[in-house]
Structure 1
Amino acid sequence: MPYPELVRLLGRATSPPGAARRPEAPRLTARQTAVLTLMAEGHANTAIARALSCSEHTVKNVIYELMSRLHARNRSHAVARALHHSLI
């Protein structure tokens, strides 16, 4: 039986065996998305805190969580990964 026909009958994705899947995009909170958007615009932590009416410490904590969720090494990498996943 041809593979595409078998996949159709089984109701699964139509990618051939061994094809790499795109990793699922991480879910972000509204605060994380706002911080990430301001990071992408080039704002420093102080400016982000002022714009979001929160403390700089809160911004640092949100960025720390973003780095973990996005598996990013630095701010630029976090923005690039967010763009890759269409999060911003």
Structure 2
Amino acid sequence: MPYPALVRLLGAAAGSAAHSAAAPAARPAGADVPRLTARQTAVLTLMAEGHGNAVIARTLSCSEHTVKNVVYELMARLQARNRAHAVARAVRHSLI
């Protein structure tokens, strides 16, 4: 699914949940929202566009090993099981 379509879809789902009477109470702003570095945000954005580690490394002018380390840090910080889950959590928290 293209990234802009995913953002629209998740935004629509969040909007309808906010208007639902059964929706849970809203969290305070900034609660449980992980903070990302500029490099983590750049890697995550390229991951969301579907690029692999080699392309991300070339785009950011760094090594594939560096990209792997950043992805590993992202997975831990976002508490994600895989790359798709990391992107979904980042979109949900408006990090990308």
Distance 2:87 2:33 in 1: 13
TM-score under structure 1 length normalisation: 0.75
* 1:36 and 2:44 are equivalent in the alignment: yes
Gaps of 5+ in 2: 1-23
Tell me the CA shift for residue 21 of structure 1. 3.1
Amino acid at match of 2:87: V
Amino acid at match of 2:45: T
TM-score under structure 2 length normalisation: 0.69
Deviation string 1:35-86 (CA, Å, 9 cap, x unpaired) is 0000000000000000000000000000000000000000000000000000
Over the matched positions of the two proteins, sequence identity in percent amounts to 79
SS of equivalent residue, structure 1 residue 69 = helix
- Number of aligned pairs? 71
Higher relative contact order (CA 8 A, sep 6+): 2
> After TM superposition, what 4+ stretches of structure 1 lie above 6 angstroms from structure 2?
none
Gaps of 5+ in 1: 1-17
Residue equivalent to 1:12: none
SS of equivalent residue, structure 2 residue 85 = helix
